[in-house]
Amino acid sequence: MRSYIKALIFDLDGTLADTIPAIAEAVNMALDSLGFPKRSEAEIRSFIGKGPRHLMSEALPREARESDPLLVDRALKLYDGTYAKTYMHTNRLYDGMEEAVLELAKYYKIAVLSNKQDQYVKALVDQLLPAGICKFALGTVNGVPAKPEPGTALRLAELLGVSPHDCMLIGDSEIDILTAENAEFDILSVSWGYSSKNKLIFKGAQDIVDTPDELLEYFK
């Protein structure tokens, strides 16, 4: 544990909550509207983490995507509409995470950083966490590079009133590891999300916790 840390910045998908079912529902509604076959939750899990455009690009059949330069734009627009109908189906945190975040909020500033669309990040944080616990929640907006680019992460540090070196990013993926490196944050990886522990180690993770209880122990 690093005693100089002042702010904990959590990833959302796969770190705070399992959002895959609601995402998969929306992706498959969009694909169905375009006349393409549905994707499994396992496939969709492998597509997430780099933002909604990447998600829909990967979900489309490659041949169709390559033959129609505008298809990804159409699919993304459909997904924006279908996810608006399903995102609130994510209505609980992972077991033990609410208790962990509530305890950590006594000692650290808490924020959320996600590659999900910004409006849905804010709405989900309001639904999933008690009022006042999360100081700021930021997602992707048009024209602003998503994680692992450091801009939004650094904006969060600025909003929280702390130096990047005072921040720890807590996430479940290689994208979070790279984001922390680019923003000069500390990083703590969690193994209960969408990347296996072995994959996190292969991607350079050094500190990994396996349960929300271990997350709390890490900061004692």
pLDDT at 1 over 60: no
Q: What is the pLDDT of residue 51?
A: 87
Percent of the chain with pLDDT over 90: 94
pLDDT at 50 over 90: no
CATH of 7-18+93-218, one of 1.40.20.10, 3.40.50.1000, 2.60.120.10, 3.40.190.10: 3.40.50.1000
Whether the pTM exceeds 0.75: the reply is: yes
Which two three-digit tokens encode residue 57?
């690009």
Q: What is the 3-state secondary structure (H, E, C) of 134-167?
A: EEEEEEECCCCCCCCCCHHHHHHHHHHCCCHHHE
pLDDT band at residue 7 using 50, 70 and 90 as cut-offs: very high
- pLDDT digits 0-9 by tens, 137-168: 999 998 899 999 999 999 999 999 999 999 99
Average pLDDT over residues 180-206: 95
Every domain range in the chain assigned CATH 3.40.50.1000: 7-18+93-218
Cβ atoms 185, 153 nearer than 8 A: yes
Every domain range in the chain assigned CATH 1.10.150: 20-89
Average pLDDT over residues 34-52: 93
Instruction: Please say if 11 is a catalytic residue.
Output: yes
Cβ atoms 92, 143 nearer than 8 A: no
Q: Which residue has the tokens 């989900």?
A: 124
CA dist 91 to 22, 86, 132, 168, 192, Å? 10, 11, 18, 26, 18
- If you count DSSP H runs as helices and E runs as strands, how many of each does the chain have, helices first? 11, 6
pLDDT at 29 over 70: yes
CATH fold label, 20-89: DNA polymerase; domain 1 (1.10.150)
Query: Of 11, 13, 18, 176, which one is the catalytic site residue?
Result: 11
Q: What is the pLDDT of residue 13?
A: 96
Q: What is the 3-state secondary structure (H, E, C) of 166-212?
A: HEEEEECCHHHHHHHHHHCCEEEEECCCCCCHHHHHHCCCCCEECCH
Q: What H or E segment, with its residue span, contains residue 114?
A: strand 109-117
